[in-house]
Structure 1
Amino acid sequence: MTTEILDHKPTEDILKKYEGKKGSLIPILQAIQEEYGYLPEDILKQVSVETGIPTSQMFGVATFYTQFRLQPRGKYTVRVCHGTACHVNGAQQLTEAIEFELGIKDNETTKDKLFTLEAVACLGCCSLAPAMVVGDDTYGRCTPDKAGKILQKIRKEEGSADN
């Protein structure tokens, strides 16, 4: 749970758009996530009060669909492929090196909110195994050393030194 103060006005606007429409929970959650980057707990409570939809139902939907996030994400998502080609070419060692470099585990975000780490089933670039994607950039034949240098470079460019 985060302690940041959020502007509730965008939520009010979202709810007005869907007012009186049946079956609008998923589009409401999508719009909220688009606005805030994730589904903040206090915003979900506001939605519950204003729509009459129980928070348990919202959390049920949010945890069922992988598109929804209940925690803030980093500016950069680091996706490490764990498909067969990447797996046999060192994806686990690559992931462990990234975890060490960033000080986080899979599906966690660094304290500075710069990076979120995700292990994924396949990135679709098997000929580049092992592969990772940072933001919109794909890196192939990625070694633990290469990944560390890429992440350090981004951190330096962003002016962040903390995990």
Structure 2
Amino acid sequence: MSVRRLAPREVQPESFAFTAENLAWAEKTIAKFPPGRQASAVIPLLMRAQEQAGGWLSEPAMRLVGDMLGMAPIRVYEVATFYTQFQLQPVGKRAHIQVCGTTPCMLRGAGDLMKVCKSRIHEEPFHLSASGDLSWEEVECAGTCVNAPMIQVWKDVYEDLTPEDLEKILDAFERGEHPVPGPQNGRHTSAPVTGLRVLTAPELFDGSTVGQGAGLALAREAIAAKANGDAAPSAAPPAAAAAAPPAPPKSDPAPAAPPPAKAVEAAGEADKEKPKKPVAPPPGGKAADPKAE
């Protein structure tokens, strides 16, 4: 991980302005929040600005967003420098690779993925490849620990990676393609890689067991009887219902509580010997004699 600072001044553009389409989208997004809460739109507006600028967020873009939301520039900087989804300097034109380096991914081979990035893109993070198409960085927990190791590229995640998988993904991005995101080993979302082992009966999912319960059958009988003016059916379950299982045998009685420790007994006896605290008399009168009653 690295300290997150804004790009140097010589890299920053002189100005930033939303396109007409993005400006209309931004105004509609701001309108979703009640008066006085427009600053809640800062993250979506910064994301849209980053996407428009080719994948990174410049200082003029942050200032524009702050002006639109009535926020001081420093407040916008705080948000942009906190979240690693915001890139603070130019990134690869085709892809910026975020390699998760948290413990689950490291245990599953994230270090090997970083070696691929170093050999294919640049030895150091936040540097462009020779063609300017790719860049990379290490991030902390991108949230798919169960499918570790993984990378994130823009809004997509690529999971269950091997170094060979990452090489193919980088090749695709360099060709201008968009690789299919998700697990790269055939796993379905986060399902066991070995396939399902339980709850595999088809009738659990085809709807054939829906509405077959005894309770639903009784309810249908009651509705039909009411419609016909007949007496309500007995609440007893239908004959097809299984008989209630016998009551389980009573377990042995609980063992007697162990005798109190001697120290506890001594403390109890000492409490008994302590004089009772005097009771304060009521206002304007004498204390009541407890023996008078």
**Quick check: TM above 0.5?**
yes
Larger Rg: 2
Describe the shift of the 1:109–1:52 C-alpha distance in structure 2 as closer, same or farther (beyond 3 A): same
Q: Is the deviation greater in 11-20 or in 116-125?
A: 11-20
Instruction: Identify the residue that residue 3 of structure 1 maps to in structure 2.
Output: 13
Q: Number of paired residues?
A: 153
Q: TM-score, normalised by structure 2?
A: 0.40
Instruction: Identify the residue that residue 109 of structure 2 maps to in structure 1.
Output: 90
Superposition deviation, residue 53 in structure 1 = 2.7
Describe the shift of the 1:49–1:94 C-alpha distance in structure 2 as closer, same or farther (beyond 3 A): closer
Q: In structure 1, what residue type is equivalent to 2:160? A: G
Q: In structure 2, what residue type is equivalent to 1:140? A: D
Q: Write out per-residue CA displacement over residues 117-162 of structure 1, whole angstroms, 9 at most, x where no aligned residue.
A: 4434353344xx5x3346446353513x55334423431x229xxx
**After superposition, where does 1:130-149 map in structure 2 within 5 Å?**
131-133=149-151, 135=153, 136=156, 138-140=158-160, 142-143=162-163, 145-149=164-168
Describe the shift of the 1:41–1:113 C-alpha distance in structure 2 as closer, same or farther (beyond 3 A): farther
**Coordinate RMSD, CA, aligned:** 3.8
1:22 matched to 2:22? The reply is no
Instruction: Identify the residue that residue 60 of structure 1 maps to in structure 2.
Output: 78
Superposition deviation, residue 83 in structure 1 = 4.4
Describe the shift of the 1:12–1:80 C-alpha distance in structure 2 as closer, same or farther (beyond 3 A): closer
Instruction: Identify the residue that residue 33 of structure 1 maps to in structure 2.
Output: 47
Cα distance in 1 between the residues matched to 2:105 and 2:70: 46
Cα distance in 1 between the residues matched to 2:101 and 2:45: 30
Cα distance in 2 between the residues matched to 1:88 and 1:29: 32
More helix by share: 1
Cα distance in 2 between the residues matched to 1:137 and 1:68: 16
Cα distance in 2 between the residues matched to 1:72 and 1:5: 15
C-alpha contact 2:101 2:139 (8 A) present in aligned 1? yes
**After superposition, where does 1:72-87 map in structure 2 within 5 Å?**
72-74=90-92, 75-87=94-106
C-alpha contact 1:78 1:132 (8 A) present in aligned 2? no
Instruction: Identify the residue that residue 119 of structure 1 maps to in structure 2.
Output: 139
**Aligned pair partner of 1:46 in 55, 59, 64:** 64
Describe the shift of the 1:93–1:50 C-alpha distance in structure 2 as closer, same or farther (beyond 3 A): closer
Q: Write out per-residue CA displacement over residues 85-114 of structure 1, whole angstroms, 9 at most, x where no aligned residue.
A: 4423432232133123111544x2635254
Superposition deviation, residue 55 in structure 1 = 1.0
Superposition deviation, residue 46 in structure 1 = 3.2
Superposition deviation, residue 49 in structure 1 = 4.9
Higher normalized contact order (CA 8 Å, seq sep 6+, divided by chain length): 1
C-alpha contact 2:117 2:136 (8 A) present in aligned 1? no
Residue segments in structure 1 that go unaligned for 5+ positions in a row: none
Q: TM-score, normalised by structure 1?
A: 0.62
